[in-house]
Structure 1
Amino acid sequence: MNYMYILKCSDSSLYTGWTNDLDKRFKVHSQGKGAKYTKGRLPVELVYFEEFDNKIEAMKREYEVKQLSRKEKQKLIIENGYKKKIDKKSESNIIEL
């Protein structure tokens, strides 16, 4: 299987990637050995993923999701089962994961 995934970083930013081994890739990110972006934003939390039959589909979906705004990514996460917790101080409705 191949996966498109979204991580929530310690600074509340969202990182989108793809992999063919979700457990292994998450462990690599968590150890600070993943993408340069996540290294300085530990710890990370897996908040969303989608499964695909092949690499091309996963990579296409990763590209699509990377084009979304933060608010659109939050909506994707929330609408697909992630529990919504809103930061009442912020108008941007940051997901508190």
Structure 2
Amino acid sequence: MMKGWMYILLCSDGSYYTGSTNDLDRRIIQHQIGEGASHTKKRLPVKLVYYEEYHRIDLAFYREKQVQGWNRKKKEALISGMPELLPKLAIAYRDLTKK
């Protein structure tokens, strides 16, 4: 099985980019030199602010898709190491989108 990583980058414009890879170091370099995703190419430089390691790449990809759907506050709670805030932020976000 191939290892995988889900990662979050902070872009120069303050936006976040969430991705997954089987080689974190190589992928970060690709982003930095403009060979990453189109989102990061236009927002260099980027900084790695969070990552999770998985024993299978498909699990990292699944997690990437999950986190991509999150709002900024939830991503920032994850980055800050405060996962206990995630359920509360999800409920607050749901309430906002219903109005």
TM-score range, shorter chain: 0.7 to 0.9
Structure 2: which 5+ residue stretches go unaligned? Answer: 83-99
Of 8, 14, 17, which residue of structure 1 is paired with 2:16?
14
Normalising to structure 1: TM-score of the pair? Answer: 0.80
| Mapping 1:29-48, distance limit 5 Å | 29-48=31-50
Runs of 4+ in 1 over 3 A off after TM superposition: none
| Mapping 1:1-97, distance limit 5 Å | 1-79=3-81
Identical columns (%): 51
1:54-78 deviation digits (Å, cap 9, x = unpaired): 1110111001101110010000000
Q: CA RMSD in A?
A: 0.8
Q: Give the structure with the higher percent helix.
A: 2
Structure 2 CA distance for aligned equivalents of residues 3 and 65 of structure 1: 13
Structure 1: which 5+ residue stretches go unaligned? Answer: 81-97
Structure 1 CA distance for aligned equivalents of residues 69 and 40 of structure 2: 18
Amino acid at match of 2:72: R
Amino acid at match of 2:46: V
Q: What is the deviation of 1:28? A: 0.3
Aligned residues: 80
Normalising to structure 2: TM-score of the pair? Answer: 0.79
